Amino acid sequence: MLEKMEILDVEMVIEEFEAMTKDAGSVQRETLKKILEENGCAEYLQNLGLNGRTDPESFKACVPLVTHQDLEPYIQRIADGDSSPILTGKPITTISLSSGTTQGKPKFVPFNDELMETTLQIYRTSYAFRNREFPVGKGKALQFIYSSKQSKTKGGLFAGTATTNVFRNSQFKNAMQAMQSQCCSPDEVIFGPDFHQSLYCHLLCGLIFREEIQLVSSTFAHSIVLAFRTFEQVWEELCADIREGILSSRITFASVRSAMAKLLKPNPELADLIHNKCTALSNWYGLIPELFPNVKYIYGIMTGSMEPYLKKLRHYAGELPLLSADYGSSEGWIGANINPNLPPESATYAVLPNIGYFEFIPLNENVEELVQDKINTSFVSAEPKPVGLTEVKVGEEYEIIMTTFAGLYRYRLGDVVKVMGFHNSTPELNFVCRRNLMLTINIDKNTEKDLQLAVEEAAKLIAGEKLEVVDFSSHVDVSTDPGHYVIFWEISGEVSDEVLKECCNCLDRSFVDAGYISSRKVNAIGPLELRVVWRGTFQKILDHYLGLGAALSQFKTPRCVGPTNNKVLQILCGNVAKSYFSTAF
């Protein structure tokens, strides 16, 4: 009966989504009206002279486009304990902390019950479409999820990463139990104080329940890859734990040990099975389905800065499908993946028109305009006027502006998306890049995606030796004239100087941006530099962010390290083993 009810619920969610997206324009107007009615008494809106008006025209005329920096003073007052209606009608009781990987330090973002409800709606919607294509039965999920501690701000508000605020919410836990297989790890592991110990226990729990595991997931693809890279190192220790029924001494926290003791019993047959499978695998290909024979798919955010991990994830996954999770940020959610059959590189996200009010700034800059900006510094091009959700055009790129129920109004998220099509009347978006994460010196304009493609092309030169780029980052060095690109690589083994020099040249040639190529040819940008760092360097970067209070579930390797991310740059520059300059131009 329960399974029948769940199937009915899935179909109902899809029907509601279909009905809502057939008239996305009207839903958007109603959503904005609801946001402004609920928060009309807020100081921020009162000072802008809306005077109770809730129509889009008045809203756009009165309320300016803003960045996080513009709202920081208001958010700081809330964090410091001012409970008056500053950004929202009802007091904000929780603050989300962004990952901090973009600017080098976490941002404070308001979080409230309404934002929690939009989170659950996104999850329900994508689950409904996903379960229709890849149904999971009664069983368990191996979820590499981690929750950092919630702290308190000066004003007594709970503060934690966005994922922590969600994971600790009772509504979320209830919804997850209704939507999918139950997490195989106990709460003490998820909320454990040390992610290394939690990761080990996640793996152990997965092995204990290996026959029941229906799906493997994490917030980000990076966390799944990290988990199975770790498995390669500790699998014999895990087998010993299972064989003897005694938890490794590496787990030191009493609460975690106590929870695991309830699950771990001596099982030499299982230990032998896992041992035999691991020794029989060639280079760990297909590790996940070998360990968990009933897994239907692997799930997590796999776009943007996560795309570089897809090759390794596919190696571990074998023939299992990879499904990319939904599109959102610490500030709020945007769209659900309703086409789970698409590969992650082609994933699109249908905007839910009732979870926020969305606008889009058209991006049609070209090299000629950038040259003009450089030549004539007094030339200022007027920024294109934002368009509404249903006014975007297929094939065009836009920067997203969001207005949320949690007090962000006409907020420039900084994400660039491409409109791939429409589902009914709501657009389906493909994430392109972060607008401010860009390699640029002169008239060049290389995005995170451009960097990824260049790295993938150059990495082919070491693939023949069965080596791989474990992780990478970049920096624009303008301490010399002309400035130049610096690419940092961590490699899985030793590579000859001759091959690395060619890798450096290949990287330089693989940036196909017209502004970069022309600038290199006239020496307005200097030769690209490849710096190979010692093994474990990117682990040090991860540890740095975890030390700042970030959760592993929210971690993204910084791909373009700017001056605001000085500590990460110090780690990278302090761990350089070899350095090469390009001779490609």
Q: Which residues contact 113 (CB under 8 A, 6 or more apart)?
A: none
User: How far is it, in rounded angstroms, from Cα 426 to Cα 445?
Assistant: 30
Domain that holds residue 140: 135-145+183-320
User: How far is it, in rounded angstroms, from Cα 383 to Cα 362?
Assistant: 9
Domain membership flag for residue 316: yes
Each residue's pLDDT tens digit, 216-261: 999 889 899 999 999 999 999 999 999 999 999 999 999 999 999 9
Average pLDDT of the chain is 87
| Over residues 59-83, mean pLDDT | 92
Domain membership flag for residue 347: no
Band of residue 6 on the pLDDT scale cut at 50, 70, 90: very low
Instruction: Tell me: do 139 and 281 sit in the same domain.
Output: yes
**pLDDT at residue 375 is higher than 80:** no
pLDDT at 173: 63
Q: Which residues contact 416 (CB under 8 A, 6 or more apart)?
A: 363, 397, 398, 399, 431, 432, 433, 434, 435, 447
Domain membership flag for residue 95: no
Last residue of a domain, one of 286, 320, 354: 320
pLDDT at 369: 45
Query: Could you tell me the strand order of the sheet in which 213-220 lies?
Result: 182-183, 140-143, 213-220, 297-301, 322-324
User: How far is it, in rounded angstroms, from Cα 321 to Cα 295?
Assistant: 10
Q: In the structure encoding, which two tokens stand for residue 131, read together?
A: 């379960």
**pLDDT at residue 370 is higher than 60:** no
Instruction: Tell me: do 453 and 314 sit in the same domain.
Output: no
Each residue's pLDDT tens digit, 180-190: 568 899 989 98
DSSP track, 13-52: HHHHHHHHHTTHHHHHHHHHHHHHHHHTTSHHHHTTT-TT
Instruction: Tell me: do 141 and 286 sit in the same domain.
Output: yes
Domain membership flag for residue 477: yes
Each residue's pLDDT tens digit, 463-500: 888 899 999 999 999 888 899 999 999 999 999 999 99
Of 327, 404, 401, give the one whose Cα is nearest residue 359: 401
Return the amino acid letter for 200: Y
Domain membership flag for residue 295: yes
pLDDT at 441: 86
Residue with tokens 């997590």: 300
Instruction: Tell me: do 315 and 463 sit in the same domain.
Output: no
Q: Which residues lie across from 161 on neighbouring strands?
A: 97
Instruction: Tell me: do 460 and 313 sit in the same domain.
Output: no
| Over residues 421-436, mean pLDDT | 90
Last residue of a domain, one of 285, 320, 355: 320
Band of residue 376 on the pLDDT scale cut at 50, 70, 90: very low
Last residue of a domain, one of 305, 320, 335: 320
Instruction: Tell me: do 141 and 283 sit in the same domain.
Output: yes
Q: What percent of the chain has pLDDT over 70?
A: 89
Q: Which residues lie across from 159 on neighbouring strands?
A: 95, 151
Domain membership flag for residue 30: no
Q: Helix 566-573 to helix 537-547 angle, to the nearest 10 degrees?
A: 150
Name the domain count of the chain. 2
Domain membership flag for residue 422: no
Domain membership flag for residue 193: yes
Band of residue 5 on the pLDDT scale cut at 50, 70, 90: very low
Burial 255-290 (b: 16+ CB within 10 A, else e): ebbebbeebbeebeebbebbbebbeeeeebebbbbb
Each residue's pLDDT tens digit, 36-57: 999 999 999 999 988 889 999 9
